[in-house]
Chains A and B, each alone.
Chain A
Amino acid sequence: MATTLYDKLWSAHVVAQRPGHPAVLYVDLHLLHDGTYHRAFRMLDEQSLRVRDPARAVGTTDHCLPTRTSFTVARSGPAPAVDVVAGLVAACERHGIRVYGPDHEHQGIVHVIGPELGLVQPGMTVACADSHTTTLGAMGALPLAIGTTQVLHALATQCTLQRRAKTMLVSIEGTLRPGVCAKDVILALIARHGIDLGVGHAVEFGGAAVRAMSMEARLTLCNMGAEIGARAALVAPDDVTFEYLRGRPFAPSGAAFEAACVRWRGFVSDEGAIHDRVVRFDAGDVAPMVTFGTTPAMGVAVTGRVGDPADSATPEGQRELAAALDYMQLAPGRAVTSIAVGTVFIGSCTNSRLDDLRAAASVLRTGRVPANVRLLVVPGSQAVRRAAEREGIADIVRAAGGEWGVPGCSLCVAMNDEVARPGEFVASTSNRNFQGRQGPGTRTLLMSPVTAAASALAGRVADPRPCLERQHAGG
């Protein structure tokens, strides 16, 4: 019978399932980070349980790691970052779990290093206590976004209880226009279909536009699967995936790699497989996108205007948009390019990979950031940092007047001494524009790395395409 990718991944990992009960699902790889581990290890210790298979877990420090200061001096706030970061390293070491502390060569944002190190491979289940675990589905693995209690479960039993999701195929067709990134495509999809599109579903992204995307672009796409409420996001693995994995530190090598590719090729939705829902989306007319509200769905083309509650189809929609604009202090109908930004943040598990930083640098090299704008560029991992420094990207950022940060979640999550000022507009390549996400009272505008870079130079939201076209014309 023709089977979907999700169903193949699911079936291969069901350990047991009693009728009417959730399935006991095996976790091939468990990624830990410093954001939400504490209670899990405490409960493990209190119940005198041991980690069932330490070799299937890997820890990294990202959420609480300060971006600028040395991590040993970060002692402010209700839960001092230094204690939280050191606590994860200690807990992992105590239980024999490989862990990448602040200065380790493999350290980085959990959703960046998983693929980058070749830890995440097609056909696996990968659990991580973070909603953006959806990112990892871009590798053709089944991502399991779990809570802290389930971290305990996965440590103690290598399993979590899971319910089978419905399946959805989002088929993205067309060719992306110049200056348009995966980030723009997913923001446009969310603006069209809403933040609940994926609820209850494992969403497989397919179609010509996805097949044409680089691995890094697919990771961005699946990252934002969390913003449509999807239980999992997926992309079927193909040659792009395999070539990305070749030579990575934890990927198989030599003949084993070739054998793995043959096996991995099976993890695709069969011809004729039936998804519970199919959504078709044309990426050919997507423009660079910017959000103006407090959910990722409140977005518009950079050439467009702030939405008007009066245009909402339902009274609830009107109230929600009106409340969002009240928080953002933005008038309906205002051109988004008139919004002056105070901080520009380029980084996060959405957009901190080498391709993202290269794209941003191609814009940043053409100018300087105004004195009243702060530009913060934070590579997603030590490997990205090293490569970007070798290529001169860090120098371009600094020459433009920006700061070059230490790899971590930084200003996306604002739990690491990195916050924007109250009331400030933040042009951000991260994934969430919720109230207070980047610090109390901050106003987040989500966009792609090139749009953020263009906005940094302009001091206000800016269309990146004129700058990119000028460069292209000039060779």
Chain B
Amino acid sequence: MRPFTVLTSAVVPLLAANIDTDQIIPSQYVNVQGNAALARALFANRREDPSFVLNDPRMSGRSILLAGPNFGCGSSREAAAWALDAGGFRAVVAASFNETFANNCAKNGMLALAVPAQVHTRLAAAVAADPEAALTIDLPGDRVTLAGTDIGFAPVVEPFVRDLLVRGMDELAYLLDHGDAIADYEARRRAPQGESA
């Protein structure tokens, strides 16, 4: 997995509340293979609307999505994270996330960064005033800044997730490291009265 270190990009604003994963990737595309197909599937139904933000040519090449509350709600389909990744996004900054969606992002080297309401309001206003403003997320340096403004804050990311992202590691290695503990647990459970299932 690519390490996530310092990311700088203008943002794509998509601030409506409760953007669900059926919008991010409609179900008929969930099993498409390959990045090109996933990128085409990203917000496929929403893109039918010419005024949808991703149809704005100025948004092309941007790698940070600025979203509203409860982003990624609904279906747990990990393809929502894959489609955003394929579409060039490396981070979603939102007022809040669906937890499964945020977990799925982390497992694919993407940052799902929830920011406090007050910070979110200031970010959204600043981006509305200057859509070209570059947001820098410095994960190792614990700093998020918006160029040309005084907005700057420390991102709140669970240390375990932050560490994996910065090192470009996945959780599987961590779990495989627990092979002995898993075997011990299974042995305990096989003992009389231990089996609960």
Contacts and interface: CB of A to CB of B under 8 A. Distances in A.
Interface of A: 12, 15-16, 20-22, 24, 26, 28-29, 35-36, 38-39, 47, 52, 63-64, 77-79, 84, 121, 123-124, 129-131, 145-150, 152-153, 156-161, 195-196, 199-200, 229, 231, 263, 295, 316, 319-320, 323, 413-415, 419, 432, 434-437, 440-441
Contacts of B33: 38, 79
A20 B100 contact: no
Contact of A79 (B29, B82, B98, B174): B29
Given A36-B78, A149-B104, A434-B23, A159 B31 contact: no
B181 A15 contact: yes
B26 A440 contact: yes
Interface-central residue, B74, B160, B186, B197, by most chain A CB under 10 Å: B197
A413 B32 contact: no
22 contacts: A22-B160, A28-B196, A35-B31, A36-B30, A84-B31, A124-B197, A131-B74, A131-B100, A147-B104, A149-B170, A153-B171, A156-B172, A159-B182, A195-B18, A229-B70, A229-B73, A316-B69, A320-B16, A414-B26, A432-B75, A435-B23, A435-B45
Given A24-B175, A150-B107, 17 more contacts: A21-B160, A24-B182, A26-B189, A36-B77, A52-B182, A84-B31, A147-B78, A147-B100, A150-B103, A153-B171, A160-B175, A161-B174, A196-B69, A432-B22, A432-B74, A434-B23, A434-B74
Contact of A158 (B70, B74, B98, B182): B182
A26 B176 CA distance: 13
Interface residues of B, number: 55
B42 interface: no
B76 A146 contact: yes
A24 B177 CA distance: 11
A123 B31 contact: no
B40 to A, nearest CB: 9
Given A36-B30, A78-B41, A79-B28, A147 B76 contact: yes
B37 interface: yes
B27 interface: yes
A79 B30 contact: yes
Interface-central residue, B26, B33, B79, by most chain A CB under 10 Å: B26
A123 B196 contact: yes
Nearest to B23: A435
Contacts of B77: 35-36, 147
Contacts of A129: 76, 78
B28 A78 contact: yes
B29 A78 contact: yes
B17 interface: yes
A35 B22 CA distance: 13
A440 B18 CA distance: 18
- A-B residue pairs, 8 tightest by C-beta: A79-B31, A415-B27, A147-B78, A131-B76, A149-B107, A148-B78, A147-B104, A123-B196
B37 A153 contact: no
A22 B176 CA distance: 15
Contacts of B178: 15-16, 24, 157, 159
Nearest to B160: A21
A29 B197 CA distance: 9
Contacts of A147: 76-78, 81, 100, 103-104, 107
A230 to B, nearest CB: 10
B148 interface: no
Contacts of A158: 182, 186
B150 interface: no
Contact of B17 (A16, A152, A316): A316
A326 to B, nearest CB: 11
Nearest to A12: B196
A26 B185 contact: yes
Contact of B22 (A15, A39, A124, A437): A437
Given A28-B197, A36-B78, A149-B108, A156 B175 contact: yes
Nearest to A196: B70
Interface-central residue, A24, A129, A320, by most chain B CB under 10 Å: A24
A124 B33 CA distance: 34
